[in-house]
Amino acid sequence: MKYLTEYRNPALVKDYLAKIHRAALHPWKIMEVCGGQTHSLVKNGMLGLLPENVVMIHGPGCPVCVTPMSLIDQAVQLSLLPDVILCSFGDMVRVPGNRMSLLQAKARGGDVRILYSPLEAVHIAAANPAKQVVFFAVGFETTAPSNALAILYAKKLGVSNFALLASHVLVPPAMEAILDDPFCSIDGFLGAGHVCAIMGLGEYHPLAAKYRVPIVVAGFEPVDLLRAIYHTVLQLESGQYEVENQYTRAVREEGNKRAKEVMYEVFEVGSQEWRGIGHIPDSGLVIKDTYRAFDASRIFMLANRYANRPSACIAGDILKGYKKPFECPAYGKACIPANPLGAPMVSSEGACAAYYNYR
Amino acid sequence: MKYLTEYRNPALVKDYLAKIHRAALHPWKIMEVCGGQTHSLVKNGMLGLLPENVVMIHGPGCPVCVTPMSLIDQAVQLSLLPDVILCSFGDMVRVPGNRMSLLQAKARGGDVRILYSPLEAVHIAAANPAKQVVFFAVGFETTAPSNALAILYAKKLGVSNFALLASHVLVPPAMEAILDDPFCSIDGFLGAGHVCAIMGLGEYHPLAAKYRVPIVVAGFEPVDLLRAIYHTVLQLESGQYEVENQYTRAVREEGNKRAKEVMYEVFEVGSQEWRGIGHIPDSGLVIKDTYRAFDASRIFMLANRYANRPSACIAGDILKGYKKPFECPAYGKACIPANPLGAPMVSSEGACAAYYNYR
Amino acid sequence: MCLAIPGKLAAITSQLDDVFRIGRVSFEGITKDVNLALVPDARVGDYVLVHVGAAISIINAEEAARTMDALRLMGEDLNLESDADE
Amino acid sequence: MCLAIPGKLAAITSQLDDVFRIGRVSFEGITKDVNLALVPDARVGDYVLVHVGAAISIINAEEAARTMDALRLMGEDLNLESDADE
Amino acid sequence: MQTNNQTSGIIDLQYGGGGEQMNKLLDDVVFHYLRNDILNVRHDGAFLDLEGRLAFSTDSYVVSPLFFKGGNIGDLAVNGTVNDLAMCGAVPRYLSLAFIIEEGFAMQRFVDIVKSIRMAASHAGVQVVTGDTKVVEHGKGDGIYINTSGIGTLHARAAIGIDNIREGDAVLVNASIATHGMAIMSEREGLQFGSDIVSDTAPLNHTVLTLMERFGGGIRFLRDATRGGLASILHEIATAGCFGIDLVEERLPVLSDVRNACELLGLDPVYVANEGVFICVVPDSIREAVLETLRIEDPAAAHIGTITTDHPGKIISASAFGGRHVVHPLVGEQLPRIC
Amino acid sequence: MQTNNQTSGIIDLQYGGGGEQMNKLLDDVVFHYLRNDILNVRHDGAFLDLEGRLAFSTDSYVVSPLFFKGGNIGDLAVNGTVNDLAMCGAVPRYLSLAFIIEEGFAMQRFVDIVKSIRMAASHAGVQVVTGDTKVVEHGKGDGIYINTSGIGTLHARAAIGIDNIREGDAVLVNASIATHGMAIMSEREGLQFGSDIVSDTAPLNHTVLTLMERFGGGIRFLRDATRGGLASILHEIATAGCFGIDLVEERLPVLSDVRNACELLGLDPVYVANEGVFICVVPDSIREAVLETLRIEDPAAAHIGTITTDHPGKIISASAFGGRHVVHPLVGEQLPRIC
Ligand code: SF4
Ligand code: SF4
Ligand SMILES: [Mg+2]
Ligand SMILES: [Mg+2]
Ligand SMILES: [Mg+2]
Ligand SMILES: [Mg+2]
Ligand SMILES: [Mg+2]
Ligand SMILES: [Mg+2]
Ligand SMILES: [Mg+2]
Ligand SMILES: [Mg+2]
Ligand SMILES: [Mg+2]
Ligand SMILES: [Mg+2]
């Protein structure tokens, strides 16, 4: 596919690997924030090809993995109501809640539908006027505009039995939380390409300056990733800490203006719980009062009735980059993709699953 | 079983047959009003054992067969509503409506449940509070008290999502309509045993007197039936026209007082359409205004949207006793139990089905 | 119409009020819980006629015995004992 | 996170209003109807990045060409033609 | 199995995906309980060594309720196919076993069913040698459906065929009828009644083997009466050739509680489903000898009728006092007749 | 069929009751389209004459949608069991056929499916010799489920077994992978996309017969990759013995539109279901000769990997630039990866 396959060219991959090997003189820890990038690095076996002194740290960039367990409990609860159709992205349905996952709720009779798009859920609502359709809207800035769009689309079509159970997370506050941590040892960041395609680079300049870390925006293909790693290493070796765009075909300085308008039409910034990390102020998006009629958590007055299960999971340390999955005592033993203890083992973008599945 | 098996004794059957043969000197036409009696006569092969001059005429005594087609259409319509559970006796579900039968509605997704008892439907309603449960309550005086009981029972239990789609028919007005017909050639009647168990004999004395016909109340077993036929023949041969009770173990002169109270608590007498016969004044029972909350036809404002299909069926002539099933041109050809044109071919108590199945 | 079968009231299983009683009726090997609201006089041991889940009549044992006597008399030479007794 | 794939906008298939346009996007053999509300400037022939049923960005063809030129230059000895063209 | 779902005790869609979870289900339940040398090979199919003519039969089992007095869908599925093979005059040898499980089905019930399958197979002397498991979405199944197909080796002396039937032949039944159907009916929603009626699901192959050994081609026709009851099988006979059947109503063996349950619901025992019941057509000359053999297994075995040319295509049942009625084939399913 | 239901065109519960209606359904559709000398006998089972060692296999088909580009559940059900027999090194001969139909299913679609079964059976050279039909209540099925079981005669030269695999053996695939799964996926609710991807469901027995004739025991292992995709089959190999597999990622044949559909949904083709695709393990010495044979049928046939003792139990896939990753077995069903 155009704009995709050419960035997998083996010769270019080898060439960039060689460049990185030559350029990296000191030990560096680089975090890819985005789970999609983790997935690509691991699936393409690139971690084993980087020089030993360039260590990639897998950040909290999988929206499925950071969705709080209490919200999964709520989705499960909703799906089991007789008149609710609970729609979700495929990755979300296996994530364990306190009682069960959505897949298990489905097995118990919950009407759970796996969709490719939140807009599809609006069509399902239109086709099932006697049901309340709830889309379990998780995501980073990339997905938030599309989820917002679903509400606007439902409103436009006069579909009133549609709502979002929303759990949106924002990248810059998470990066800041990680950087603020006194034990933080990350030297540079790969910027999340598709988040930046929406948001632009504006939020990253102050971060790079304040914490003196290079942030190189990267795409998802092997060449994209290696190019960005190479440029991060170049900055680090030369003591720079710029925001640099190495994904120019998709990312503009200003981002996507219309997408941001749509997002802020429906959502506003609020505090958000990250699974494995905890509450981070101003790190999420909540549905505005104007759209409360489309907010499942208000329509249903959801109670959070389950205490979080105590768990051996060290997801927090993994997501903050202190530990690698294989340093978790449960990894590959009590915790495997068929029986995940923590969210990072569930989604194929989760750091633990990416390690387990491709190493 | 006690009170059942002893009335099947072959020696007694033979004895009564001999008595009837001896007693019947003239040609007589005797109508058994009740479909259950038709069923028993045919299934036990007794019609072939009676003397040629004693001809049994099969009356309109199958509540399934006389339920108007428009009501079946309404039941079908209700069953196809997403939030309705339509409960019915087993015999009713195969009866063709104008568009389809309840069994065909079920195949199209209608929630149709076959029950042994209307009281069971109240339990289903209690177990499905989000659904409206409708019991398709057909029947003669025998069944009306039990159907009425279901409403009282629902009220007692505080079950408000239960209703009847009611179609009740009364025997004496039907007998009177048959006797009023100028072509009527019926000499005597077997009284419907279980109708009389409820109603007693009070309504029959004036009928016997006015039309000068003997009415002998009969049970359902071979010995019961032959005994009643024998006594009818005895009356006919001696020119009597009494109401005579030959089912004394179940029928009392005054009937069942409590059952009548319950029936009239919930229902009142009204005009009723009989399939194949037409409207007969004061021949049915309708739900009283006091119990309108349990009346499906009022809850749902049912429209009768289908014109009755034109049909070759001569059910009216059959039910009035003018013709035998085999005199219908469709009998056994276009009209068979697998594809009934008319209701008497559907229920195993219908005159046509009884003939087809057991002859 | 109106299939009704005689069975013996074996026990009262619940009593909602004076009217609504439920009884277990035995049909020789088969039992069924039956609504007794239409037969307030029915007592354990009585035979009742059961129709669509309700007892609609109490079998008059005396009348039944009288009938059977008449039948026995009529068919003295016949063996009528078999099923007549409990 | 945020799997997004580039495809070519082949046709506008419906237009509810100025904002809500639906377009058919082609992924070389595969097509998908995609919401274009987030990319008001997208024209037929443009490549868009598709994520969860919506186009979230228009591929900057000039920038992509520039990148590819740089890559080609860098790997002059390598065969980079294969998949680079439509 | 150390998975979430084992703990939570239900089977979900993941068990049907062809992945790791499915293998665990197979290892921990199916292969665990049903292991034998042939099944253990775990290839796409089983390798068999068989001699001579074969019989091959299939049936799917969709019974509700799944568990009933006297059995469950598991032994039903084994006995059903074993019996169909036996009715061919074959010695049942190997079964295939295919599950269609609705997601949400309790693991424990699945285990119970597989255990019953093991018991029934061992009782019938057959081996489950190949299988398949699918999991379908909630609301697209009914707990579990089972298909079994079976292979048997034809008995050397067997010569069973509807064409062999002759006028005057005796029609025998091996056991009381309608028992299984009423055992099931007693537990159906909306119809429940209390009873001790126990399904008589059973493998018939041992009995049939004895018949073959003793009477060989003397057994002209065999057929087990399942769905549609005795009447359906009799109709097959009556419509296949130029014969009718005279039935003697009072000889039909029906247990008294089964008969009473039929009275209560207004059902006719000849239309009620059976398991473990078969019809056997033999020359009248060996009738008593065959009956004697059948009565070793079940004293209820009876001579219920005679093949006749008087009314071809028709089954006529005569009552004790000489009343005659035609037994027509069942229309659809027999539904309780209430009013 | 002159019944209400034919006119109204849907199958209701009466068709499953074992009565007259069911016989009409069988006569007018099943026996009408599938008639052959053995099936026509209409006994409880089929009588077969077979020589030598046999293979026996079963599968239920629960695919949704029932009709898709390139086929429907009917040919799938025939080809699936034909292929399982072929993978045993057998010549498929006879099939059983069992339907579980949900009431309300359109008669016309049933007829279409039975016609496809006839076509597929004739294409594969097998006969449907025994069958069963059940109708279940609305909401307890998914239109139609089909079970086929099959019997084949083992090829004289066949010696297929996972134990025969040796270090250094070549792992071949006969055709492009993931095609069938993506053809199905393109029509699933909530995922639909436009494409010309056509399922490649096909009988593999003719190809396998050629392999047996030419290479006999040289074909060490055969297995069709269906549910769970290629990865599942490779895992069976890797977990059965003391071997691992080295896969060459770029050699995996995937049609470009299939690959693009996988990109769109975030799926990995090695986990996507196939039909008409099989793995073949052969000594490296005959690799090219076998490939040449496979390529007569499909030029996409490829040498995708090698059996190794370097990493027993593991499948390691290497990319063109030397990146290596472990291919783990699928957990549950592969769900579209969106974010
Ligand atoms: S391996 Fe499992 S338990 Fe350990 S950190 Fe990862 S998800 Fe948590
Ligand atoms: S045979 Fe059929 S068409 Fe004729 S009167 Fe009876 S029900 Fe009507
Ligand atoms: Mg069979
Ligand atoms: Mg069978
Ligand atoms: Mg059979
Ligand atoms: Mg299988
Ligand atoms: Mg029995
Ligand atoms: Mg198989
Ligand atoms: Mg298979
Ligand atoms: Mg296979
Ligand atoms: Mg069958
Ligand atoms: Mg292919």
Phi-psi region for residue F5, left (φ > 0), alpha (ψ -120 to 50) or beta?
Answer: alpha
- F87 and F167, same domain (yes or no): no
DSSP state of B307: P
ipTM: 0.87
In a domain, E223, yes or no: yes
Q: Is A95 in the pocket of ligand 1 (CB under 6 A)?
A: no
Query: For a substitution probing ligand 2, which of B38, B345, B359 has the most ligand atoms within 8 Å of its CB?
Result: B345
Q: Does residue F6 belong to any structural domain of this protein?
A: yes
Contacts of E337 (CB under 8 A, 6+ apart): B90, B91, B347, B348, B349, C3, E265, E266, E267
Same domain, B297 and B319: no
Host domain of residue B241: 1-301
Does residue B319 share a domain with residue B277?
no
In a domain, A306, yes or no: no
Q: Which of F154, F170, F196 is the last residue of a domain?
A: F154
Cα Rg for chain D, rounded, in angstroms?
A: 15
Distance from CA of F263 to the nearest CA of A (A): 9
| B194 is a domain residue | yes
| Model confidence at E6: pLDDT above 50 | no
Least Cα separation, residue C59 to chain E (angstroms)? 16
Q: Can you point out the beta strands (E) in E204-253? A: 221-224, 244-248
Between the CA of A354 and the centroid of ligand 1 the distance, in Å, is: 11
* Chain E environment of B87 (Cβ under 8 Å): 190
Residues A211 and A297 placed together within one structural domain of the fold: yes
Q: Which residues pair with F303 in a beta bridge?
A: F172
Q: Collect all residues of chain D within an 8 Å Cβ-Cβ radius of residue F187.
A: none
Per-residue three-class SS string for A81-115: CCCEEEEEEHHHHHCCCCCCCHHHHHHCCCCEEEE
Considering the domain architecture, whether residues F170 and F311 belong to the same structural domain is answered as: yes
For the ranges A345-349, B47-51, B337-341, C22-26, the lowest mean pLDDT is seen at A345-349
Measured between beta carbons, the chain F residues lying within 8 angstroms of B107 are: 10-13, 103-104, 138
| SS3 (DSSP) at E61 | strand
And the tokens for E236? 């097959």
F335 is a domain residue: no
Whether pLDDT at E53 is above 70: yes
Q: How many distinct structural domains can be found in chain B?
A: 2
Average pLDDT value for residue range B39-52:
92
Q: Lowest mean pLDDT: which of E37-46, E283-292, F49-58?
A: E37-46
> CA separation (Å) from A243 to A192, A207, A236, A253?
12, 9, 12, 10
Which of F154, F174, F194 corresponds to the end of one domain?
A: F154
Q: Do B209 and B350 fall into the same domain?
A: no
CATH code of B2's domain:
3.40.50.11740
Dihedral sign of CA atoms A222, A226, A232, A233 in order: positive
Q: Are F211 and F293 a contacting pair, CB within 8 Å?
A: yes
F221 and F309 both lie in a single domain: yes
pLDDT higher than 50, residue C83: no
Q: Is A308 part of a structural domain of the chain?
A: no
Tell me if F322 and A338 make a contact (CB, 8 A cut-off). no
Indicate the residue among B301, B323, B340 that finishes a domain.
Answer: B301
Residues E179 and E214 in one domain: yes
Question: Do the domain assignments include residue E296?
Answer: yes
Same domain, E148 and E233: no
Q: How many Å from the N-terminal Cα to the C-terminal Cα in chain A?
A: 27
Query: Does residue A329 sit in the same domain as residue A297?
Result: no
State residue A309's pLDDT score: 59
B235 is a domain residue: yes
Q: Do both F26 and F136 map to the same domain?
A: yes
Q: How far is the CA of E19 from the centre of ligand 3 (A)?
A: 31
* Residue at A352: amino acid letter: C
Positive or negative torsion for Cα E163, E166, E167, E170: negative
The residue nearest atom 1 of ligand 2, judged by CA position, is: B331
Same domain, A53 and A17: yes
| Inter-chain residue contact B45 with E331, CB threshold 8 Å | no
Decide if E338 is inside a domain. no
- pTM to 2 decimals? 0.89
- Asked whether residue B176 falls in the same domain as residue B91, the answer is yes
Please answer yes or no on whether D30 and F195 come within 8 Å at the CB atom.
yes
Work out the average pLDDT over E110-137.
94
* One CATH from 1.10.150.20, 3.90.1200.10, 1.20.1070.10, 2.30.30.140 for D5-81: 2.30.30.140
From chain E, the residues in CB contact with C2 under 8 A are 339
Q: Please check whether residues B169 and B26 belong to one and the same domain.
A: yes
Residue F228 lies in a domain: yes
Residues F145 and F228 in one domain: no
Residue B307 lies in a domain: no
Domain enclosing residue F89, as ranges:
2-154
Question: Contact E118/E84 with Cβ under 8 angstroms?
Answer: no
What string of pLDDT tens digits covers the 359 residues of chain A? 899 999 999 999 999 999 999 999 999 999 998 989 988 998 899 999 999 999 999 888 888 888 888 899 999 989 988 889 999 998 889 888 888 889 889 888 899 999 999 999 999 999 998 899 999 999 999 999 999 999 999 999 999 999 999 999 999 999 998 899 888 889 999 999 999 999 999 999 999 999 999 999 999 999 999 999 999 999 999 999 999 999 999 999 999 999 999 999 999 999 998 887 788 999 999 999 999 999 998 888 665 555 555 677 888 888 777 888 999 989 988 888 777 887 788 776 678 887 887 66
Whether B205 is in a domain gets the answer: yes
Comparing B358 with F317, the larger pLDDT belongs to F317
Tens digits of residue pLDDT in F286-302: 999 999 999 999 999 99
Number of domains in chain E: 2
Contacts for D69 with CB less than 8 Å, ≥ 6 apart: none
More confident residue, A228 or B333: A228
Contact flag A106-E103 (C-beta cutoff 8 Å):
yes
Q: How far apart are CA A70 and CA A73, in angstroms?
A: 5
Residue F223: name the closest of F88, F109, F122, F32 by CA: F88
Neighbours of chain A (3+ CB pairs under 8 A): B, D, E, F
Residues of chain F with pLDDT under 70: 1-8, 332, 336-339
Our answer on whether the CB atom of A354 is closer than 6 Å to any ligand 1 atom is no
Residue E210 belongs to what H/E stretch? helix E205-215
Decide if A338 and F332 are in contact by the 8 Å CB cutoff: yes
pLDDT the model gives residue E5: 40
- Give the pLDDT confidence score for residue E338 in this predicted structure: 54
Cα B356 to chain centroid distance, Å, stands at 19
- Work out which ligand 2 atom sits closest to the CA atom of B351: 6
| Exposure on the CB side of residue B342, measured as CA atoms within 13 A | 30
Q: Which residues contact F198 (CB under 8 A, 6 or more apart)?
A: F69, F70, F179, F183
Q: Which two tokens stand for residue E109?
A: 């019930």
Inter-chain touch F335–A114, beta carbons under 8 Å = yes
In this structure, the answer to whether residues B98 and B124 fall within a common structural domain is yes
Examine residue A309 and state whether it is found in any structural domain, yes or no: no
Which of A16, A44, A133 best probes binding to F when mutated, by most F CB atoms within 10 angstroms? A44
Residue C31 has pLDDT above 90, yes or no: yes
Amino acid at F259: R
Element (H, E) at D31: strand D30-35
Residue after which a domain boundary falls, among E154, E177, E200 = E154
Q: Is the pLDDT of residue D76 over 70?
A: no
> B82, A130 in Cβ contact below 8 A?
yes
Which H or E run includes E105? strand E105-106
Identify the pLDDT of residue A134: 97
Q: Which two tokens stand for residue E75?
A: 């032994």
What type of residue sits at position A197?
A: A
Same domain membership, residue A186 and residue A329: no
Q: How many helices (H) and strands (E) does chain A have?
A: 15, 11
User: Cα–Cα distance between A189 and A213 in angstroms, integer?
Assistant: 7
Residue B51, SS3 per DSSP: coil
List the residue whose alpha carbon is closest to atom 3 of ligand 2: B313
Residue whose CA is at the smallest distance from ligand 1 atom 1: A331
Separation between Cα atoms, residue B67 and residue B92, nearest integer Å: 9
Distance CA E173, CA F150 (A): 32
Q: Is the pLDDT of residue B335 over 90?
A: no
Structure tokens at A245: 């765009």
How far apart CA B147 and CA C53 sit, in angstroms, is 10
Give the pLDDT confidence of E131-150 residue by residue, as tens digits.
999 999 988 999 999 999 99
- Residue ranges near ligand 12 (ion) with Cβ within 5 Å: F 175-176, 179, 200, 277
Residue B164, phi then psi, degrees to nearest 5: -105, 140
Using CB atoms within 10 Å of the CB of residue F41, give its burial: 0 to 12 exposed, 13 to 18 middle, 19+ buried: middle
Q: List the CATH number of the domain containing F145.
A: 3.30.1330.10
Residue B64 near residue E339, CB atoms below 8 Å:
yes
Is the pLDDT at B263 greater than 70, yes or no? Answer: yes
Q: CB count, 10 Å around CB of C34?
A: 27
User: Does E171 have pLDDT greater than 80?
Assistant: yes
Is pLDDT at B347 greater than 80 in this prediction?
Answer: no
* CATH for F248: 3.90.650.10
Q: Are residues E116 and E137 in the same domain?
A: yes
Does the residue B309 lie in any domain?
no
Q: Residues of E at the A interface (Cβ-Cβ below 8 Å)? A: 2-5, 8, 10-14, 19-21, 24, 103-104, 137-139
Residues in chain E, total: 339
Cβ of F336 within 8 Å of Cβ of A90? The answer is: yes
Alpha-carbon distance A9 to A99, whole Å? 46
Residue F333 lies in a domain: no
**Residue F29 DSSP class:** I
What Rg, from alpha-carbon coordinates, does chain F have? 21
Q: Give yes or no: residues F147 and F100 share one domain.
A: yes
With touching defined as 3+ CB pairs under 8 A, do chains A and E touch? yes
- Residue C82 pLDDT > 80: no
Q: What is the pLDDT of residue C1?
A: 45
pLDDT confidence of B307, banded at 50, 70, 90? low
Q: Evaluate whether D23 touches D42 at the Cβ level (below 8 Å).
A: yes
Q: Which atom in ligand 1 lies closest to the alpha carbon of residue A340?
A: 2
- The answer to whether the CB of A186 is under 6 A from ligand 1 is no
Q: Ligand 2 atom 8: the closest Cα is on which residue?
A: B313
pLDDT at A25: 97
Residue holding tokens 């633990």?
A352
Task: Please determine, for residue D82, whether its predicted confidence score (pLDDT) is greater than 70.
Answer: no
Measured from the Cβ of residue C39, the count of other Cβ atoms closer than 10 Å reads 23
Q: Rounded to the nearest 10 degrees, how much is the dihedral formed by the CA atoms of B156, B161, B165, B171?
A: -10
- In this structure, chain D runs to a length of 86
Which chain A residue lies closest to E105 (C-alpha atoms)?
A: A107
Q: Tell me if E12 and A104 make a contact (CB, 8 A cut-off).
A: yes
In this structure, the answer to whether residues E131 and E240 fall within a common structural domain is no
CA distance C56 to chain E (A): 13
Residues near ligand 6 ion, CB 5 Å cutoff: E 132; F 59
Task: Choose, out of F325, F330, F333, the residue to mutate when testing the contact with A (most A CBs < 10 Å).
Answer: F325
Q: E148 and E264, same structural domain?
A: no
CA E123–ligand 6 middle distance (angstroms):
26
User: Does the Cβ of A355 fall within 6 Å of ligand 1?
Assistant: no
Query: B229 and B50 in contact (C-beta within 8 Å)?
Result: yes
- Which residue, of A301, A327, A350, is where some domain finishes? A301
